[in-house]
Amino acid sequence: DHTRIMRTARMPLEWVIPWFTLCLGLPAATTGISCFSLHKLEVRHSHDDQFCSTWGNYHFKTFDGDFFQLPFTCNYILASQCKGSYEDFDIQLQRQEIHGVITIKTVTMKLEGIVVELANTSIKVDDKLVTLPFSQAGISIERSASYVKIQAKLGLVIMWNQEDSLWVELDAKFKNQTCGLCGDFNGVQIYDEFIRDYGEVWKVNGPTENCEEISTATKTCKDLCKNLLSGPAFLSCQNLIDTDSFIKACAKDLCHCKSNSTSCLCSTISEYSRQCAHTGGKPQQWKTTQLCARTCPFNMEYKECGSPCTDTCSNPHRSQMCEDHCIDGCFCPPGTVFDDITQSGCVAVHQCSCLHNGKPYKPGETYSRACHECTCTKGEWSCKDLNCPGICSILGGSHISTYDDKTYTFHGDCSYVLSKETNGTFTVLGDLVKCEKSDKSTCLSAVTLMLPKHTMLTLLSKVKVSLFNVKMFFSFTDDITVFSPSTFFIVIHTTYGLDLEIQLTPIMQIYIKASVSNKGKLNGLCGDFNDVGADDFKTTNGLIEGTAGTFANTWKTKTSCPDMTNMLGDPCILSVDREKYAKHWCSLLSDPKGIFAKCHSEINPENYQFCIYDTCACEKSEECMCAAISSYVHACAAEGVLLNGWRDTTCRNACPSTLVYDYQMKSCGRTCRSLSQSDLTCEVEITPLDGCGCAEGTYLNEKGECVSASQCSCHMGDTVVRPRHVIRVHGQTCSCHGGKLNSCANPMVFFSCSSAKPGDKGSECQKSCQTLDTECVNTQCISGCVCPAGLMSDGKGGCVEEKDCPCFYNGQSYDSGQTVTVDCNTCTCKNRKWECTDLECDGTCTIYGEGHYITFDEKKFSFNGGCGYIFTQDYCGDDMNGTFRVVTETIPCGTTESICSTAIKLYLGNKEIVLSEENVRVIEQSKGVDIPYHISTMGIYLVIEAKNGLVVIWNKKTTLMIKLSSTFKGRVCGLCGNYDGNIKNDFTTRNKEVVVEALEFGNSWKVSPTCPNADKLKNPCSLYSHRQAWALKHCSIIKSEVFAACHSKVRKLPMNVTWHI
């Protein structure tokens, strides 16, 4: 009873193929630029000849258009790649019939070695139950309306309605390579006499499994089916698909029906509607309350042809980027989106909830943090920054975080300007020296604060501070207060909008807090505090240095100190035991279930990975490990997150007799002095600090003991005078050879301190072209070679007048009149200062390797997800009048986690440009304006230049660079950030919340909300430890002479670049 069915119609292929070649207009021989090969412009069309389907009463439609019935409950090979050298996929299917209802019992598929099993109530991958959405090794499984969609990047899509219908859609590259019930996919139909044998060939029952034939209809029941399929609901389908074959299939269903109900024809009519939509038709509502009725949850409504890309509160514009054909299912009414935050149905956009730290917030609700307040508005966060101080920290003696959150590592060996007010109101200096018994680390050995009226305060790291030493507080002048809130810290408060929180236990670290009144008025190693992290390496000569080393070297306070290059290597390779110790204890910071987890949403623990380096490099590993952990605790406290109990398991500390430990120790009102006089420390706002001090109800006396109020001495009027200094340092050592100082080379002269007058400064204060703007700090005169009066050192052993000083940039000196090119500007050296043109330069965003990103505002992070992501776009917020959107998706190497290439789609005006290694496809869109562009190749790179100021540069593998003109500043969003110069807000999510973790940020920019979130990035060197040494060996070429010319110009790549080799 099988009849050979020929397809009566096929959607015409709509190709517009203008072949053209684009060049830059210059001969390739002279420019090194070659033209890109031909590419074609196409109009998006249906793929009705690339899919096979099965539905209802054992019906099948092959890739080549044959309809047939195979009424058996056997297990069959539906489709497999059998004609290639390697079988990429194999799909098997088995039906069941229970009480007259026919459903798909199981679907088993093997996709590049990974086994996926579908059943009524479960989905398994490699025999393990999974929840949706799911993604692994190039395979994604998600829900789309009432369907489960399985997509493999090898070129296969499967749609299952979880009842009786299954589609398989293949990429055209598999033509003439398939076997199974779906046919050979060669465009030639098979004859009906082979159908039954055809089924026997592809039966793959288990050894103990039997299957039965189901009786089929023998009578004809055609009229109702013809009336329905030829009716007004399907007028747009008539010339797109084979209506007659579906009428015959429907008639068989109706005749086979064991009741008088019309429900038996529902599956075939539904399949007709699905295939009509797949070929570009728009089927209308045909189901009624009496015929094949469907119900929907919440306030959703059933549609025969709705967008599979559902608009949600977390992505209200998802449907505008939908490339899939419409499907049937339950959808939100027009003007509403699905509230995927509270899962409460369809709401208007202005009623959308917001999500923060896993907690939903209703419209109008707010949450506050130390420095910002956010309000939920239309499903997005509207945040207002509060006037909080900027914090600069020097941690572990080498890890610096600027006021504007730029982080870098610098191993110095001198005294450096940490922060300086441009008008000279205050200067903070830090002495960085090589740590004792360690050649891989540096230590902060002293901090000096200089204020007006020649007030100077120096603290040394070697001095053990007790509460008695500083008597809890004392004031040098009316503009400075010094006190110790605990035995671990000394705080210096000034009236100039500057506070220093200096940690002394277990090692010296400093936190410099500058008030908003100092914004844009600071410079030094801590940056300029202007909310723009990208210019924090700007020196006094006006240029931005390329590396931390060349930048920091410009802030030396002594000419005699050497320039440092920061090539110290990895200390963990020297000791396996130290490495294990460091990784064990430092990993506590990032443990998602640990005691520090409550702060992860505010402070990213990944920024404290230097904990491992310091613990390995430090002579006393525990001290450096505890210093790193305590610095994370301090950063959390500054954000209003207080962490208690962390010393219960690590970094335990014993307090002196009568003192107690507290995680937030207070000194206000806990001295004997405070009982009779006002306590100036109570007026100082500080970060909650831990350490040893007096318990509440006890008071510190003159002996440094905590006593009761009855044991306190009295302090009246001026009878107790506060010391002016905490510690005064007098001695410094000088080098001596042969029992005398080295003689001076012409034109320098020898200055002898033995004949100097009081107040004279010696060689330690020799001015140089590099330190001319730095105030010298000297505690004693040092004899040595100096330039004659009126001259200064040129840094090369000579003496010059100020006007003849060279300019310095990236570690090189330039004479007056010489020029350098910095980005798009030209800078000329004049009177030791750079004078630069003030052109607005393009911004660049880059992705390279295994998901390493550098945003337009130079924030570096790693994120590796398996979905499609918005790389950058100017369709931001409510602005839907953008001009471009770049979508990227990583392509794994087979079934491994490694990335072989990146799939790229550029939506440019009314064009969709799809980039692949083989060619460039340009697809005409129905919306958008026409934006001129041209395509070329430059070496290994494919370049697209558009007239709107966009340039795309791709190496046809994993490196992609986007350049945008300055007109896009502050108008873009996505994984590349917002291009507003502020590195602090680069992790702005799709719903406009600023987060700290790259994982949360990256997941918010996935194109499809049903695609699973990426997991936390694991260090491959930990997973595959046998490859770590090999990776370090090959990556060390970056430090070799091969790239020596780049060392002073390009910042060192992150350590995790070696992870993925």
Q: Is the pLDDT of residue 731 over 70?
A: no
Residue 1022, classed as helix, strand or coil, is helix
Determine the pLDDT at residue 440.
79
Predicted confidence (pLDDT) at residue 119 exceeds the cutoff of 70: yes
Residues sharing a CB contact under 8 Å with residue 862, sequence separation 6 or more, in sequence order? 850, 851, 852, 853, 998, 1017, 1054, 1056
What separation in angstroms does the CA of 881 have from each of 334, 873, 904, 948, 977?
21, 11, 22, 13, 19
- State the pLDDT at residue 780: 59
* Strand stretches in 849-940, DSSP E: 852-854, 860-862, 868-873, 884-892, 899-908, 911-915, 920-924, 933-938
Lowest-confidence pick of 213-227, 400-414, 587-601, 978-992 = 213-227
Which residue among 617, 648, 679 closes a domain?
648
> Which of 807 and 415 is assigned the larger pLDDT?
415
Q: Give the per-residue pLDDT at 263.
A: 76
For 471, left (φ over 0), alpha (ψ -120 to 50), or beta? left
pLDDT at 769: 81
Q: Two tokens at 84? A: 């290639």
Whether 742 is covered by a domain: the verdict is no
Encode pLDDT of 398-449 as tens digits. Answer: 999 999 999 999 999 999 999 999 998 999 999 999 988 777 789 999 999 9
| pLDDT value of position 717 | 47
Identify which of 402, 567, 441, 570 has the alpha carbon closest to the alpha carbon of residue 1048: 567
Rounded Cα distance, 655 and 663, in Å? 13
Instruction: Compute the radius of gyration of the chain from its Cα atoms.
Output: 36
pLDDT reading at 1053 higher than 70? no
The residue that leads in pLDDT, 737 or 692, is: 692
Do 175 and 128 share a domain, yes or no?
yes
Q: Which of 932, 931, 930, 933 is nearest to 943 (CA)?
A: 933
Amino acid at 95: R
Q: Across residues 154-178, what is the average pLDDT?
A: 91
Q: Is the pLDDT of residue 219 over 60?
A: no
Asked if residue 174 and residue 55 are part of one domain, the reply reads yes
CA pair distance 771, 775, nearest whole angstrom? 8
Torsion angles phi and psi, residue 681, rounded to 5: -70, -20
pTM value surpassing 0.85: no
What mean pLDDT, rounded, does the chain reach?
Answer: 83
Domain span at residue 162?
51-201
Judge contact between 409 and 398, C-beta under 8 A: yes
Residue 303 dihedral angles phi and psi, to the nearest 5°: -130, 145
Are 779 and 854 part of one and the same domain? no
Q: Is the pLDDT of residue 37 over 60?
A: no
- Is residue 107 located within the same domain as residue 151? yes
CB atoms within 10 A of CB 127: 7
Do 975 and 1040 belong to one domain? no
* Nearest one of 867, 846, 818, 859 to 1003, comparing CA atoms: 867
pLDDT winner (highest mean) among 257-261, 281-285, 398-402, 816-820: 398-402
H/E stretch holding 277 reads helix 266-278
Q: What band does 777 get if pLDDT is binned at 50, 70 and 90? A: confident
Residue 31 lies in a domain: no
Mean of pLDDT values over 307-330: 89
In a domain, 885, yes or no: yes
Lowest mean pLDDT among 189-198, 483-492, 694-703: 189-198
Q: Is the dihedral of CA 430, 433, 437, 438 positive or negative?
A: positive
Whether residues 863 and 950 share a domain: the answer is: yes
How far, in Å, CA of 329 to CA of 322, rounded?
A: 16
Quick one: average pLDDT of 23-36? Answer: 37
pLDDT(840) > 80: yes
Q: Is 638 inside any structural domain? A: yes
Beta bridge partners of 361: 354
What's residue 409's pLDDT?
A: 93
Asked if residue 747 has a cis previous peptide bond (ω within 30° of 0), the answer is: yes
Domain count, the chain: 6
Domain boundary among 386, 403, 426: 386
Q: Please report whether residue 542 resides in a domain.
A: no
Q: Based on the fold, state whether residues 84 and 136 are members of the same structural domain.
A: yes
Cis peptide before 485 (omega within 30 of 0): no
> Given this model, what pLDDT does residue 759 score?
66
* Tens-place pLDDT, residues 856-890: 999 999 998 889 999 999 999 877 789 999 999 98
Between 347-356, 613-622, 895-904, the lowest mean confidence (pLDDT) is in 895-904
Question: Could you tell me which residue, 474 or 867, shows the higher pLDDT?
Answer: 867
Residue range 716-743: average pLDDT?
Answer: 38
For the stretch 51-106, pLDDT in tens is 899 999 899 999 988 899 888 889 999 999 988 777 889 999 999 888 878 899 99
Is the per-residue pLDDT at 811 higher than 60?
A: yes
Least confident of 333-347, 418-432, 890-904: 890-904
The rounded distance, in Å, linking the Cα atoms of 44 and 927 is 13
pLDDT for residue 1059 is more than 70: no
Share of the chain above pLDDT 70, in %: 84
Q: Lowest-pLDDT range, 311-325, 470-484, 723-737, 1018-1032? A: 723-737
| Burial (CB count within 10 angstroms: exposed 0-12, middle 13-18, buried 19+), residue 349 | middle
Average pLDDT in the 570-592 region?
Answer: 92
| pLDDT over 80 (residue 918) | no
Same structural domain, 946 and 995 = yes
Across 89-98, 256-265, 667-676, 1019-1028, the highest mean pLDDT is recorded for 89-98
- Decide if 287 is inside a domain: no
Give the torsion sign (CA, 702, 703, 709, 712): negative
* pLDDT for 781: 63
Residue 183 or 477, more confident? 183
Domain membership of residue 785 (yes or no) is yes
Assess whether pLDDT exceeds 90 at residue 21.
Answer: no
CATH number at residue 317: 2.10.25.10
- Whether 995 and 1043 share a structural domain: no
Residue 530 has pLDDT above 90, yes or no: yes
> Same domain for 876 and 801?
no
- Rounded to whole angstroms, how far apart are CA atoms 871 and 915? 14
pLDDT at 443: 92
Q: Are residues 884 and 974 in the same domain?
A: yes
Rounded to 5 degrees, φ, ψ at 634 are -65, -45
Percent of the chain predicted with pLDDT > 90: 44
Confidence (pLDDT) at 787:
86
- Supply the pLDDT for residue 35: 39
Could you tell me if residue 319 is inside a domain?
yes
Which residue spans within 974-1035 are E strands per DSSP?
A: none
Q: Are residues 862 and 888 in the same domain?
A: yes
